């Protein structure tokens, strides 16, 4: 039997590198770049506002100046907006707000949605019927409309925006998780776990959830992008975090008006950050999905 | 334990049956579309005995095995195991009983979790039933892997790194690691190469002797069942056609369906001579769906010995002699014909 003479297992144990390092040493350059980009975005969002200028300070003598212009408060590296506010400071501050809102909205919606989907698919019957009708009702109402209504009714702010956005996210998780559980529920995998003597909770947490984690990660990346755009849409309509606090979406929508005047940096700078974040997260998500599946993982370490 | 020893134990009466199934029925669907996958099956199983369950695809063998272990709940009947009626147990009580009854599935590739290392998979029954943890569990797992012919190095591997035969050994180890008494083997050789089948069958009988296991061995391979089982239960469309000791199979089988099965085996060792029988031609015809005619013998449309009463009355399972039972209206006449 091949397993008897395997050089890898016959060798004396080497000190094992940490799990994270092993994971990183295996990823292709594009994913490494994506990791760096996301790390950069997160680092800038976390620490940038401490270093940059006040994002709401106006310099009315240097309005709509292109990048690298000298002004009252020194050099504006990324130029200024229509009120003479430092674009770099607004960008950095907007990144922080947008990322925080998106992260917590996806987290809340994802956890709740996955839990509901798991329960619904595994228990079936009346529970499933009830939960899925709720999902259907939610899906029948256009997500943006619902979000707009709630955002308009409730007091605007970071917390409200997170709640409202997680409302459009959970449905996606619930449906995907339920569909995956339904297909897994009748497999030998779950049958074997039951025959072993596992409780339902154990089967769901240890056998079903890890096996659907791939799809959950993939929709997380998609939903992250989706929510980031929805957050931008809310900002665009003035229903997100109220001004003058900057968000990436609000900055893009405000900047749009000046595109025809050739003030490209107002849109390009926040747009670039949004695109970079979304593309990088998608790349990481795809790679993670492959890594989480031992079947597609390479044999050599 | 040999068949003779089992019979001796049964005859002396010092052991009650380990498993006793009475009139177990499993139904799918509801109302007029109800389909009876298992129809009033009864049998008893002694400690250390192997019951081979045989029949064509879709005859309810797998359903029977799963219903005995309550992975599918029977809609009627009793399943007495260790003095408890499993069909009435639920929740934690039933999970506790699973310590003593386990299952080996047909395809280890689909029954083993692809994301778990073999070690984690084997440790799970120990953790679930609170048998052992930590280093003790590791030691038990290593012993079990050795018992099924693998090395302790297999512990850190994932299922996709094994061949089919090795993987079935892992599945066997998983079923036996909690030291159950009853093991339902659901066609454990069907997904394997012929060369590996023999290894797995021999391993199963070796482990039976070592751990004193009781098997329900489900298969459509008559040769393997004859080799491994002490008694053979022949199923046809959810009903028991015949139960008899496996060494009597070729000589004493009376049910026309069992005879047809025997004549279909292309095994030179089979003592039944394959003489050309024009009557057997009808046996190859597609069977009518018996759901339409619940009264009467299900085998009647294909049976070469059918009489009018076969279509109108369900034959009861009658005991011929000792441990041989048959469900056929005409078994007496057929026995006389065979004797003549």
| pLDDT, position B284 | 46
A61 has pLDDT over 60: yes
A293/B112 Cβ within 8 A: no
Distance from CA of B222 to the nearest CA of A (A): 24
To the nearest whole Å, the CA of A223 is away from the closest chain B CA by 25
- With 60 as the cut, is the pLDDT of residue B292 above it? no
What residue segments make up the domains of chain B, in order of their start?
3-100+180-253
pLDDT band at A13 (very low <50, low <70, confident <90, very high): very low
Residue A10: its pLDDT value, please?
A: 39
The mean pLDDT value of chain B amounts to: 84
A117-154 residue pLDDT tens: 999 998 888 888 998 999 888 888 887 787 778 877 88
Pairwise CB contact (< 8 Å): B102 & A196: yes
A197: distance to nearest CA of chain B, Å?
5
Residue A62 has pLDDT above 80, yes or no: no
pLDDT for A198 beyond 70: yes
pLDDT at residue number A5: 40
The reply to whether B157 touches chain A by the CB within 8 Å rule is yes
ipTM confidence score:
0.82
* Amino acid A20: pLDDT: 64
Encoded tokens for B116 = 């778990």
What's the pTM?
0.77
Cβ–Cβ < 8 Å for B297, B219: no
Could you give the CA distance from residue A270 to residue A285 in angstroms, rounded to a whole number?
A: 22
Give the mean pLDDT of A62-86: 74
A197 closest CB neighbour out of B125, B153, B158: B125
Q: Is the pLDDT of residue A292 over 70?
A: no
List the single range of A78-82, A206-210, A212-216 with lowest mean pLDDT: A78-82
Closest-CA residue of chain B to A193: B111
What is the rounded average pLDDT of the residues A222-238? 79
Q: Cβ of B105 and A191 within 8 Å?
A: yes
Look at residue B293 in the predicted model and tell me its pLDDT: 61
Tell me which range, A55-64, A195-204, B317-326, is most confidently predicted by mean pLDDT.
Answer: A195-204
The predicted pLDDT at position B336 comes to 84
CATH superfamily of B3-100+180-253: P-loop containing nucleotide triphosphate hydrolases (3.40.50.300)
B171: pLDDT strictly greater than 90: yes
pLDDT tens digits along B242-271: 998 988 888 888 888 888 888 877 655 545
Q: Report which of residues A218 and B48 the model is more confident about.
A: B48
């Amino acid at each position: 039997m091949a397993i008897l003479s395997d050089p890898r297992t016959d060798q004396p144990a080497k000190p094992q590198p940490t799990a994270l390092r092993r994971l990183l040493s295996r990823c292709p350059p594009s994913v490494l770049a994506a990791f760096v980009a996301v790390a950069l975005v997160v680092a800038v969002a976390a620490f940038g506002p401490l270093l940059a200028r006040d994002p709401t300070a106006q310099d009315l003598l240097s309005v709509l100046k292109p990048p690298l212009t000298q002004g009252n408060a020194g050099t504006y590296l990324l130029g200024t907006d229509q009120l003479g506010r430092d674009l770099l400071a607004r960008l950095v501050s907007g990144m922080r707000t947008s990322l925080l809102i998106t992260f917590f909205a996806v987290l809340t919606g994802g956890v709740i949605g996955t839990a509901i989907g798991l329960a619904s698919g595994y228990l079936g019957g009346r529970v499933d019927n009830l939960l899925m009708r709720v999902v259907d009702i939610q899906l029948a109402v256009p997500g943006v409309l619902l979000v707009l209504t709630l955002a308009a009714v409730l007091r605007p702010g970071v917390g409200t925006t997170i709640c409202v956005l997680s409302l459009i996210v959970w449905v996606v998780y619930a449906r995907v998780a339920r569909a995956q559980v339904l297909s897994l529920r009748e497999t030998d995998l779950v049958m074997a776990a039951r025959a072993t003597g596992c409780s339902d909770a154990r089967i769901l947490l240890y056998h079903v959830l890890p096996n659907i984690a791939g799809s959950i990660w993939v929709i997380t990346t998609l939903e992250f992008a989706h929510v980031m755009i929805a957050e931008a849409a809310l900002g665009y309509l003035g229903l997100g975090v109220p001004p003058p606090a900057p968000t990436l979406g609000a900055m893009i929508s405000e900047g749009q008006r000046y595109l025809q005047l050739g003030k490209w940096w107002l849109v390009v700078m926040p747009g670039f950050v949004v695109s970079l974040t979304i593309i990088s997260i998608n790349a990481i998500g795809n790679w993670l999905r492959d890594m989480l599946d031992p079947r597609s993982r390479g044999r050599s370490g | 334990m040999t068949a003779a020893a089992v019979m001796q134990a049964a005859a002396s009466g010092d052991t009650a049956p380990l498993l006793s199934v009475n009139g177990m029925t499993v139904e799918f669907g509801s109302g007029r579309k109800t389909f009876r996958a298992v129809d009033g099956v009864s049998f008893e199983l002694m400690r250390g005995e192997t019951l081979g369950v045989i029949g064509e695809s879709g005859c309810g063998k797998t359903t029977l095995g799963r219903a005995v272990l309550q992975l599918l709940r029977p809609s009627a009947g009793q399943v007495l195991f260790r003095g408890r009626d499993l069909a009435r147990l639920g929740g934690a009580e039933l999970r506790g009983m699973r310590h003593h009854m386990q299952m080996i599935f047909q395809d280890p590739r689909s029954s083993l979790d692809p994301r778990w290392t073999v070690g984690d998979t084997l440790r799970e029954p120990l953790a679930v039933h609170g048998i052992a943890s930590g280093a003790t569990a590791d030691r038990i797992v290593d012993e079990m892997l050795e018992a099924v012919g693998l090395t302790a190095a297999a512990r850190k591997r994932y299922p996709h790194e094994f061949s089919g035969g090795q993987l079935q050994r892992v599945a066997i180890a998983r079923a036996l690691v909690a030291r159950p008494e009853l093991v339902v083997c659901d066609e454990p050789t069907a997904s394997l190469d012929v060369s590996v089948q023999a290894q797995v069958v021999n391993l199963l009988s070796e482990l039976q002797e070592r751990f004193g296991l009781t098997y329900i061995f489900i298969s459509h391979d008559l040769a393997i069942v004859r080799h491994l089982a002490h008694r053979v239960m022949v199923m046809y469309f959810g009903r028991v056609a015949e139960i008899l000791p496996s060494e009597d199979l070729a000589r004493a089988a009376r049910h026309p369906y069992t005879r047809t099965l025997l004549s279909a085996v292309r095994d030179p060792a089979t003592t039944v001579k394959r003489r050309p029988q024009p009557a057997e031609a009808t046996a190859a015809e597609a069977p009518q769906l018996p759901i339409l005619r619940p009264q009467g013998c299900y085998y009647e449309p294909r049976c070469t010995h059918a009489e009018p009463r076969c279509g109108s009355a369900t034959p009861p399972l009658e005991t011929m002699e000792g441990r041989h039972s048959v469900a056929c209206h005409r078994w007496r006449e057929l026995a006389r014909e065979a004797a003549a």
